[in-house]
Amino acid sequence: MAFVDSLLQNCHSLSHIKQLHAHLTTTGLFPFHRSKLLDRCATSPSLSLLPYAAFVFRHTPSPSTNDYNAIIRGLALTPTPTRALTCYLHMSRAPTTTTRPDALTCSFALKACARALALPEAAQIHSQVTRFGFGLDALLQTTLLDVYAKAGDLDGARKVFEEMTSRRDIASWNALIAGLAQGNRPSEALEMFKRAGSEGLRANEVTVLGALSACSQLGATREGEKIWEYVRGEGLDLNVQVCNAAIDMYAKCGFVDKAYQIFERVCRKSLVTWNTMIMALAMHGDGRRAMELFEEMGRFGVCPDSVSYLAALCACNHAGLVDEGFRLFNSMAGRGVSPNVKHYGSVVDLLGRAGRLEDAFEIVRSMPVVPDVVLWQTLLGACKTYGNADMAEQVSRKLVEMGSNSCGDFVLLSNVYAALERWGDVGRVREAMKNRDIKKIPGFSYTEVEGVVHKFLNGDQSHPSWREIYRKLEEVRFRIEAYGYVPETNYVLHDIGQEDKENALCYHSEKLAVAFGLISISDRASIQVIKNLRICGDCHTVIKLISKIYEREIIVRDRARFHRFKQGSCSCRDYW
DNA sequence: GTAGGGTTAG
């Protein structure tokens, strides 16, 4: 038997499999090895042997549970994982003593749900899992938890986790921590990470990957550093993935030099290592070094992929390297990487920001992939910057056609009109906004003070020190007005009076966070803020002035990049 | 006469 197993292990081609199949058939041993053969074929890395498995399966008169398992497992790995669910359904509808789903069947079917983001189906299998009596199977419960998280039901995932109580192990924690981190709930991910520690679990490389990712998102420097120390202490820094996550964490917490130190010391850099570092430099506006690294990776025998190009384009964007970026974009196809919608979006941004609106629009017109909402929004932003109302109207129409109901799109258009003093049109846009179900993504900012992350919403008054913060902002306002500051009220969204507009601007979340930093972070130490959206023009102006008047370095990470404010100017050189 | 399932970076 072991002999057949090892033969099977060494079958890599269809002809080998067929030979083995023929041999087993002639010796009458095939029925004893069928499931293994099916599994081997169904899970062949390139999917090339799956059709053969399906063929053999179809010609099996009464397939066993194991035969089904092999096929479901294989189908779950294909680009169309729902086929695995169809097969599972077929199996569970006609149960016999020999074909009853077992824990593995459920596990493979759940994998398919995770890949297909099929939440209702996952819930259905969940109830079957319970009915079949697999409720105590820790591995299966972890799979279940993972599916809920991946399919977007994080509360469902938490519930499964809490119900596992004593049976959960480090992998269950990992699934939850990673799920929360990837599901945009990084604070909860960190909470769970800390809880795992306090419950005596020993974090492994997977645990720290999830936790580091959460720190990246939150800009939680203190926690990130602690994790990195732990990683080094445990020797987990031999793991490339962990190093990549740490590079990303340091870069996103504002310490691009520290990120680079780690990058340099990774001896077996993977493609992701290079991409992460290039993206890090791009975010920090260091376009030159990013491009150098991009060139260098080729010399190290690492071939740039579509993410590398995106990172490099992004670097050109933020550094204003318009011609270089455009050249890079045009060279992609020749080097075997065909641009996707993100690359097109990036080059449209590059040209649009540089004021080459017609060139940007021409790219959109001629591109072979369908432009997405983000791309149109990028172009609309450029129209706003350069006051091109005609193009803004065309682009807005596209956005409306695509069903965009984002507040920002309408505001941009309205601001284009406002800048041209076309108040009638401004009113028309505002009217259109009232008649639609407009979605406004609430802006918020984080700042870390003594290891604690504080979160602020626009106009937030829920922070314990909010009165002091607002008082500080009054003072700031008074002092910056002496420098000739005038609020840029066209960034304000709603139809409100001038004074209210100014107030609404005054209390943008990033300003609250900076003010909180001013009152709570000791003299001279820099203030770090992370914002979920792009920083607004008024905040940018105000923070520049604050950095000068209060002699503070202020570092703001917005949705797109870092802004490092020092002595009255910003590292983005006002190009953003 | 039968192995195989959970968590993983840009």
In which residue are the tokens 């079958």 written? Answer: A11
Q: Which of residues 474-493 of A touch strand B (CB under 7 A)?
A: none
Q: Which residue is nearest to nucleotide B3 (CA to C1')?
A: A36
Q: State whether the beta carbon of A217 lies below 7 angstroms from any atom of strand B.
A: no
| pLDDT at residue A441 in the model | 79
Residues 92-111 of A with CB under 7 A from strand B: 102-104, 106-107, 111
Q: What nucleotide is nearest A4 when CA is compared to C1'?
A: B2
Question: What is the distance in angstroms measured between the alpha-carbon CA of A31 and the sugar C1' of B5?
Answer: 23
Determine the protein residue whose CA lies at the shortest distance from the C1' of B10. A276
- Cα A517 to Cα A39: distance, rounded to the nearest angstrom: 58
Please check whether residue A181 is in contact with residue A155, taking contact to mean a CB–CB distance below 8 angstroms.
no
- Count Cα atoms within 13 angstroms, Cβ side, for A67: 20
Mean pLDDT of all residues belonging to chain A: 89
Name the residue with the least CA to C1' distance from nucleotide B5. A104
Nucleotide nearest to A103 (CA to C1'): B5
Q: Which of residues 407-466 of A touch strand B (CB under 7 A)?
A: none
- Residue in the structure block whose two tokens are 């990130």: A224
pLDDT digits (tens, 9 = 90+) for A10-22: 788 889 899 999 9
Using the structure block, give the residue that is written with the tokens 């956005």: A399
Q: Is nucleic acid strand B under 7 Å from A381's C-beta?
A: no
Give A301 CA → B8 C1' in Å.
Answer: 25
How many other C-beta atoms can be found within 10 angstroms of the C-beta atom of residue A276? 24
Is the pLDDT at A489 greater than 80? The verdict is no
Taking CA atoms, A345 is separated from A339, A360, A542, in Å, by 10, 9, 30
Indicate yes or no: strand B within 7 A of the C-beta of A140. yes
Average pLDDT score over residue span A288-299: 94
For residue A247, the 8-state DSSP code is: H
CA(A15)–C1'(B2) in Å? Answer: 23
φ/ψ of residue A456, rounded to 5: -130, 135
Distance (Å) of CA A439 to CA A49, A71, A164: 47, 44, 38
The proportion of chain A whose per-residue pLDDT surpasses 70, expressed as a percent, equals 97
Predicted TM-score (pTM) of the model is: 0.91
More confident residue, A403 or A493: A403
Which residues, other chains included, contact A239 with Cβ-Cβ below 8 Å and sequence gap of 6+?
Answer: A205
Whether the CB of A174 is less than 7 Å away from nucleic strand B comes out as: yes
Nucleotides of strand B within 7 Å of the protein's CB atoms: 1-10
Q: Is the CB of A1 under 7 A from strand B?
A: yes
- The whole-angstrom separation of Cα A277 and Cα A254 is 13
| A92-141 residue pLDDT tens | 887 677 788 999 999 999 999 999 999 999 999 999 999 999 988 999 99
Q: Is the pLDDT of residue A50 over 80?
A: yes
With 90 as the cut, is the pLDDT of residue A410 above it?
no
Q: How far is the CA of A140 from the C1' of B5 (A)?
A: 7
Within window 239-268 on A, which residues have Cβ closer than 7 Å to strand B? 240-241, 244-245, 248
Give the nearest nucleotide to A171, CA to C1': B7
